[in-house]
Chain A
């Protein structure tokens, strides 16, 4: 993905970390590279050469020529390029090549901190020296992501040195399949891919099947547009996924597993391939796993771009080389799955939890999270929020904690933290629903979310500010699902298309009150009657916004007015006479001369002439133009 991977060859020299000596670690994740991490790296190399200094400069995680301590992305991408100095644990953000000289001079040589390069917490206005001081990290609980960012994902030995493969070894050598299932059942682990089905029960259903051949499938086809948790786990700690797969295989009596990885994640694909090859070479996978006499084979397969392949039966069809079209259940995959054999399908994050559960015991695991949703959950926190990125919290953490504290609060369209503009959080992507400011105290877990008509889903959390039109948000998801519908069953194929067209009627001012009730009727029919999970959840964004933001729909329908101005046809731009300072900036940029007014006096906007291009809003320094 990055130039680093494309341009460099694997080096042979792995310089071991020397105690007491400072090391520079430059994040070269997708995010940091795009903001200039490679230039920072070059600047360090030049600077050190010039001064004839010998510090380790480590480019992580995608560089291969210095393969010390490569690590997974730490999820703080928008603050990149990130530079960490160890062992001082100094964490510099937004570093540019020009800053390098100062870092070398002050920090590397003298151990001083370049304060202005530290992260400045917008909440406390304090500089944070290390990651531990940053609320974004402080308030999380890293369980699945624990080793991501700490270990080299491409080094099997590092994984092993962190108790890696001990759980699988235990499962293969000293536990019966039934005991493994029981432990997982006792832990209360629930599937992280969406529905929250108890993993232990799923495994047991496959375990009791008499078939000689069974399969495990690791679902890494993370298709939710706005979620990247599985990607981070596969990139940051691929062996933990393989270990989870091995334990699942042992539990059900399978000897073959497929790792279905989304092809939009080339680095994850590469890491999974390498991890499988390394584990094979080490005798962990292969004909005699852990010398147990048992066979264990893992096959990596790249998805080819279909959201519906997140659905179990569609995923199976895809592995079998067919169109990813779901088939009716029963039979369930646990009875008859891949090539008609009993098959367990688990999501990446679920499987990555398994090794630690087996090592620490179910009881320990149950101490995290809530009674019915034990453990942690990773979320992709994005949208109008100060800190976007990948976070992990125990189940039961409240929405407010995530948005206001970890996320650092809601921002305006320019990215500035602003009070009282929080409108909604969309959770669970195209299958999910929205949460409102009234729900800030809602604990996020499988069951609480269900009570408000939302679901954990894949774990995407998109924060939206007051300037977001909820009808447009519903339309965005509907457009997505109707495009991603496999086209097999009538309700999903035709229903999502009609829902989209009804939403267009609302957005473009053609709707009547009957449109809204038809949307609800159709939405419910699609929900109840569709063949697979994609169809059954496709109307959720529409139904959920209709429930919580009905007034917005009604203003579109009855008043033909989009309050946020996002729906151009229904935008009614107005100049707020109180805020307007009469600077005439808007008058100059308006391409159609719709704004008039004398200097230093509030201007007027002629709505008839206005073409709603938004040029005035972009130019106004006083946020005086509203409704566009």
Chain B
């Protein structure tokens, strides 16, 4: 270390260390090569100061948390005095005394910070009595398993959920030793507004929040000789999987991965990048159409199920701007379940589609009811990169020694554009590669659009194609998505395409990827994806001959009927909490008409309260108590149309006291005569009708 003038240095254990813009002592101490243990410090999150492990002694100031103390020139810091070592040990022992210590069977074993730090600090016994008050494990979410018995209350999950994703599905509840991290009202995670991104599992230092495993189901199918088990691997998996086998982040392991999948017994090994190319055909064309008509812009991407659920929950009015394209996973599932029976000569119900994804939300997506037809899911199981690595290890396969093999054809064929989907900005770049040639009719000189690349979670670019300027936004992290969504809602921006990925840096940073302690892991994976693109023979989705072949042989036109049926979907507004509303008026009669008045913010401002009072007055006056239930509901998410009232099957927008009372009388009459006056219309999707 070069010697700097004293005024710019601090002394760490007697050795001078230069201050170079570090935000806190922890950063400067780690820079000096000392790995102070922490649970609650993450450079991307706010400083929390709860784990008390990064304590240091500053001469003249005593013991302070290094994570929350900015460096000042001349500070004399000691990092491991006897007293501090004792406090650290006691802290860890205290945590272990309130922890489910079944380490060997824990999902996080060997990758657990608590385990690692206990070993690092030399904790050899726990001097305190066990006080764990065992609580049930929450397996309600298809994406995340929550085991409160392993929580150390570091709050990393709470902060990532609110600070990075702005969802706030989990938060601290209660206090003192009863303090815990809980979904709203202590409900299960599967019942609340969680978007399934799983970022909480990435930051969780222990086994308290882990990706929900589907390995057992996959093993079972693999072992069943009657089944044809097909696997589709997402682009980002190839640059993450190696980390589980001591390789550097970003190492491209496509060949070993394919080989290991075949060794595991998958009958067909396909590349989801194929479906990404297919997506570009549909989504690119959809965009060009919207752009030509000047409607439903900006077009938001819809590949990311976390983002889709986020929109459904918080921005239902923007749903029409979402591309109607299914995600590559679901397109692939639908396509394969449609084509493979014929191609392979196997009955549809004997085919199992397994996705390997860098993502926990994909597990949820595959279970959405619109992707399950007559009990047969388009995608049967979704496992994460982490789970695949575990399966490879469980089978005893020596991954690093494998001879690379290739994907199976035709659905293992992909272009670099499809692989780009793994990076934030990848979908946009792939669309540009497609649209530029479609619009100009000329071949691109260079296939790379570096303007859309970068590390920032919110990037803008303007690209001129054939004299038409396209304004693009590339967003990752839902907090950033919220910023753009707000601008779009208020009409303060003029984007044409907005790409959104829920996880910071896109799918390569997904919660299904191996958890890395390397601070540069995401950057290296991103580079791996761009390198993989370069190494592919083809770089534009429209060059994927097998995709073109699909259209020629059975899909018909891009965006045509068959394609629309198989490859597109629709969205629904979604309440954040499954609530029963607040009952105001009800009686004991048998067949009672249900009346719900939305009292969400927008409806309330537009006078919903008056409408509710009018209806209540009317019902009381006419003694309807045995015929009508009147409730307040929180939000029908038709905010622009408010006040909204639902009377039986009828949805009344822009309601007034008069129209609501009229509708109530009308519906009551119809109910007496045995039929409803009107059918509830599907407003979110007209395309599929």
Contacts and interface: CB of A to CB of B under 8 A. Distances in A.
A490 B52 contact: yes
B65 A328 contact: yes
Interface string A282-326: 000000000000000000000000100000000000000001010
A493 interface: yes
B176 A483 contact: yes
A350 interface: no
B178 A521 contact: no
Nearest to B180: A487
B91 A497 contact: no
B56 to A, nearest CB: 11
Interface stretch (B67-75, B440-448, B545-553): B67-75
Nearest to B67: A328
Interface stretch (A107-115, A224-232, A388-396, A528-536): A528-536
A281 B277 CA distance: 72
Given A491-B90, A522-B90, A528 B83 contact: yes
Interface centre among A484, A521, A529 (most CB of B within 10 A): A529
A330 B23 CA distance: 12
A490 B50 contact: yes
Given A328-B67, A491-B90, A498-B129, A529 B52 contact: yes
A493 B179 contact: yes
A521 B87 CA distance: 9
Given A529-B52, A529-B63, A487 B177 contact: yes
Nearest to A501: B129
Given A323-B172, A487-B153, A522-B90, A531 B52 contact: yes
A323 B48 CA distance: 14
Interface stretch (B93-101, B213-221, B596-604, B644-652): B93-101
B295 interface: no
Interface string B654-666: 0000000000000
Interface in B36-83: 47-52, 55, 62-63, 65, 67-70, 83
A490 B51 contact: yes
Interface centre among B52, B86, B97, B129 (most CB of A within 10 A): B52
B415 to A, nearest CB: 49
Nearest to A530: B52
B86 A521 contact: yes
A465 to B, nearest CB: 31
Contact of A488 (B50, B90, B127, B131): B50
Contacts of A487: 153, 172, 174-179
Interface string A331-365: 00000000000000000000000000000000000
B162 to A, nearest CB: 11
B331 interface: no
A445 B178 CA distance: 37
A interface majority secondary structure: helix
Given A486-B179, A491-B94, A494-B98, A501 B50 contact: no
Contacts, number: 107
A491 B179 CA distance: 14
A497 B131 contact: yes
A528 B87 CA distance: 8
Contact of B95 (A329, A486, A494, A496): A494
A495 to B, nearest CB: 6
Contacts of B97: 494, 498
Nearest to A494: B94
A491 B153 contact: no
A521 B127 CA distance: 11
A328 B51 CA distance: 12
A491 B175 contact: no
Given A328-B49, A531-B52, A306 B63 contact: no
A495 B90 contact: yes
Contacts of A491: 52, 87, 90-91, 94
A472 to B, nearest CB: 20
Contact of B175 (A485, A489, A521, A522): A485
A492 to B, nearest CB: 9
B449 interface: no
A393 B259 CA distance: 85
B91 A490 contact: yes
A486 B173 CA distance: 10
B175 A306 contact: yes
Contact of A484 (B62, B83, B176): B176
A150 interface: no
Nearest to B176: A485
Interface in B168-209: 172, 174-179
B128 interface: yes
Nearest to A487: B179
Nearest to A489: B50
Contacts of B91: 490-491, 525, 529
A490 B95 CA distance: 7
A518 interface: yes
Interface centre among B65, B69, B87, B131 (most CB of A within 10 A): B87
Contacts of A330: 68-70
Interface string B269-291: 00000000000000000000000
A482 interface: yes
A327 interface: yes
B287 to A, nearest CB: 42
A306 B175 CA distance: 10
B90 A521 contact: yes
Interface centre among A485, A491, A496, A530 (most CB of B within 10 A): A491
B611 to A, nearest CB: 30
A596 B176 CA distance: 48
A486 B174 CA distance: 8
B131 A501 contact: yes
Contacts of B593: none
Contact of B49 (A306, A483, A485, A531): A531
Nearest to A326: B49
B569 to A, nearest CB: 39
B167 interface: no
B66 to A, nearest CB: 10
B157 interface: no
A493 B151 CA distance: 13
B608 interface: no
Interface centre among A329, A482, A484, A498 (most CB of B within 10 A): A498
B63 A531 contact: no
B176 A490 contact: no
Nearest to B64: A328
A528 B177 contact: no
A328 B152 CA distance: 18
A521 B93 CA distance: 13
Nearest to A484: B176
A376 to B, nearest CB: 31
Interface centre among A485, A490, A491 (most CB of B within 10 A): A490
Contacts of B68: 328-330
Contacts of B128: 498, 501, 518, 522
A531 to B, nearest CB: 6
Interface in A464-494: 482-491, 493-494
Given A487-B153, A525-B87, A518 B127 contact: yes
Contacts of B174: 487
Interface in B79-119: 83, 86-87, 90-91, 94-95, 97-98
23 contacts: A323-B172, A328-B47, A329-B68, A484-B176, A485-B175, A486-B176, A487-B177, A488-B50, A490-B94, A493-B153, A494-B98, A495-B90, A496-B177, A497-B131, A518-B128, A521-B86, A525-B87, A528-B87, A529-B55, A529-B63, A530-B52, A531-B49, A531-B65
Interface of B: 47-52, 55, 62-63, 65, 67-70, 83, 86-87, 90-91, 94-95, 97-98, 127-129, 131, 152-153, 155, 172, 174-179
Closest A-B pairs by Cβ, 9 of them: A487-B179, A328-B68, A328-B49, A494-B94, A529-B87, A525-B90, A497-B177, A525-B87, A485-B176
